[in-house]
Amino acid sequence: MLVASYSFGSGENQISDTSFFDKSLGYGFVDLRSPIGNTASERSLYAGGWNLRKSYRIAPDDIVTASDKGLYINHPRDVIIFKSLVPGFGTYEVTVKVTADNGDISNMYIFAGRRNLIASGISVDSDETYSKTFHVNVTPYIPALTSVPCMEKAIYISVSGENAGISEIIINQKQVPVVYVAGDSTLTDQNALAPYYPYGSGGGWAQFIAQYFDDISVCNYAHSGLTTNCFRDDGHWDILAKAIHPGDVFMLQFGHNDQKRRNLAAFGGYINNLRWYIKKIRDFGAYPVICSPISRIPFTDEETGKKCSLLKTHALAAKQAAEELDVPFIDLHTLTFSKWIKLGDTATDYFTDTTHTNDYGASLIASMVANEIKNKNIEPLCDWISSTIPDPRTPDTDITELPKEPEESSIFDINIPYVDIQDIPQYNRIVKAFKGGILDPCIMYLHPMQTMPRAQVLMVLFKALRIEGRRPYHGRYIDIGRYEWDSSFIETCVQENLIDERTTPNDLFRPDDPLTYAEFASLCERGMEHEVLRRPDLGLSECLHRAVVDGIVPPDAVYVDPAGFDTNDITDGGCAITRADVYAGLCRVMEIMDTVGTKLPSDIEMHPVG
């Protein structure tokens, strides 16, 4: 069913470049100079995945040239974004046409939705017409840094490139299969700044996968910061579960954030969650596909000289889950790990940091996925894969010098996003701890009354103390693996005398045991003691007394066990500390050390949520 047909240009009854979006009309160009939303992530959601560079200085009337054949970009890195409202959630067939009339078109990009790449490297000779038909899925979507879903029913089309333009857009309502994607920041839809510099734009690989398929749509529900638990608990799964139909496909790739949670160990909570998702998807009559987590840029173990990845165990668990449940498996960890090693020092050209890819890296990984689907004959995806898989564009075809942008405000300047802390007594301190950068802004639930494992608390403690983890781990404790996420923090604790030996009997760190108030007090007070050699003299009892005086732990909470733990422990304050009291206590540590507003440790992995 035809929804809309739009003709662009300078002629009568054509849409001009000054036809900005009007809700009463239901269509128009997005004006990036007048953004909607409270955060960069939310603003980009109403702009097809784009935000305007603060350094942008080109006059509005110099952006586009109009003729009776279309609208054309004057500057190759500019972006024009067209928005059309549609009658409801579901899938739509979209055709974009452009006739070259402002010189030959080259290196043109077409994006849809939240900056999902549809086609790139497009060349059109003068007076020739290029046409691309593809499919878009319109659904509710929860923006990063908020718990409120966006319910807008709209299609966004954006283009960029040398003399790139739009002559015609046709939108039809059409039911086609959907590939739903779940995962974390390494495959989510990342927003970018316009003018467009792919080298400096963060991208998730699922954002670039649609270009390799015909006759299906891709709906990417991956979000920054999510674990296999958070995707389900924060509401993303509920949206997907209401939309998925028999015959659809569900691809999932988690691991980067799961490895930071002790309850989501590779062959524990993580693999159990993968099994859960697979069962549920099959109950819907859809087809699951498991991907192992992409590799970060490998680091070199200084003692062995070997290249290493901290995600190998989770990759093995993903493979085991796929094998035992007879699910198609794409081993992205092995593929990317090998590729980054082969690229050597130039691997950094595909990343914005050691974990998150730029658009070139995302495009490269998307091509790996497409090739694996084709080569392994993964059904039913292989039925929709394009007959020709274009080679991904590489950084050496573009410039790496980016416009200098004014310094952005901190991501932690937003309102605190957690929905489960409003009425607790620690609320104000938790807000201050959030502003200090020690909490994850990408999740919705803080679970304040739950306890925190001993090893996991080190990650937030190090943020508060502004100290870094160190590798390699030298094996002080027999229950910590050399390449575990937490091992770098524990190695620093050993070297810096932060651990009271009474709490680690028999060479066991006890990483998964709940942290007690006295143990927390010991870590904090030792961390605030500047004299490293003095720290071993600070016993548990003295640290506990100091922490009460300093306001780091509440006196009544030290001796009362609200969670029901055995208080006859190795410490005077044997009851387990709640997460709320951990964060409130670390807020007090930052106040005492005056670290609020100072730079976070360089090894802290931040999610690129804009």
Residue position matching structure tokens 């094996």: 475
Torsion 303-304-310-313 (CA) sign: negative
Nearest-angstrom CA–CA distance, 281 and 356: 28
**Residues β-bridged to residue 249:** 179, 287
DSSP codes joined into one string, 151-196: ---EEEEEEEEET-EESEEEEEE----EEEEEE-TTTS---EEES-
Residue 533 has a pLDDT of 96
Average the pLDDT over 193-222 and give the result. Answer: 97
Residue 559 has a pLDDT of 41
- Residue 251: in which H helix or E strand, if any? strand 249-253
- Between 272 and 541, where is the model more confident? 272
In angstroms, the Cα distances linking 472 to 13, 302, 347, 487, 501 are 67, 7, 22, 8, 21
Average the pLDDT over 178-195 and give the result. Answer: 97
> SS3 of 357, please?
strand
Residue 145 has a pLDDT of 85
Which residue in 516, 572, 522, 579 sits closest to 547, CA to CA? 522
Condensed to tens digits (0 to 9), the pLDDT of residues 234-267 reads 999 999 999 999 999 999 999 999 999 999 999 9
Instruction: Grade residue 610 by pLDDT with cuts at 50, 70 and 90.
Output: low
Residue 599 has a pLDDT of 87
Q: How many CB atoms lie within 10 A of CB 22?
A: 9
Condensed to tens digits (0 to 9), the pLDDT of residues 540-583 reads 889 998 999 999 998 875 543 333 434 344 444 458 899 999 99
Nearest-angstrom CA–CA distance, 357 and 344: 15
* Residue 303 burial (C-beta neighbours within 10 Å; 0-12, 13-18, 19+): exposed
Whole-number percent of the chain with pLDDT over 90: 84
Nearest-angstrom CA–CA distance, 179 and 458: 38
CB 592 within 8 A of CB 173: no
Which residue in 29, 156, 166 sits closest to 105, CA to CA? 166
> SS3 of 257, please?
coil
Kindly provide the residue ranges of all beta strands, DSSP E only, lying in 68-145, ordered along the sequence: 70-73, 80-85, 90-99, 105-112, 116-124, 129-138
Average the pLDDT over 186-191 and give the result. Answer: 97
DSSP codes joined into one string, 206-242: GGG-GGGBSS-EEEE---TT--HHHHHHTSHHHHHHH
Q: What pTM did the predictor assign?
A: 0.94
Residue 39 has a pLDDT of 85
Condensed to tens digits (0 to 9), the pLDDT of residues 368-399 reads 999 999 999 999 999 999 987 788 889 988 98
Residue 161 has a pLDDT of 97
Whole-number percent of the chain with pLDDT over 70: 97
Residue position matching structure tokens 């109009």: 66
Condensed to tens digits (0 to 9), the pLDDT of residues 283-331 reads 999 999 999 999 999 999 988 899 999 999 999 999 999 999 999 999 9
Cα–chain center distance at 584? 27
CB 171 within 8 A of CB 93: yes
Strand order in 217-220's β-sheet? 217-220, 178-183, 249-253, 287-291, 329-330
Residue 140 has a pLDDT of 96
CB 332 within 8 A of CB 318: no
CB 466 within 8 A of CB 597: no
Rg (CA), the chain: 26
Residue 564 has a pLDDT of 41
Residue 299 has a pLDDT of 94
The single-letter code of the amino acid at 165 is: G
The three-state (H, E, C) secondary structure of 66-84, written as one string = EECCEEEECCCCCCEEEEE
Nearest-angstrom CA–CA distance, 404 and 466: 27
Indicate left, alpha or beta for 450 from its phi (over 0: left) and psi (-120 to 50: alpha). Answer: beta
The single-letter code of the amino acid at 17 is: D
Residue 40 has a pLDDT of 87
Domains for the chain: give ranges and CATH numbers.
1-174 (2.60.120.430), 177-402 (3.40.50.1110), 411-593 (no CATH)
Residue position matching structure tokens 């760190």: 509
Helix then strand then coil, in percent of the chain rounded to 5, is 35, 20, 45
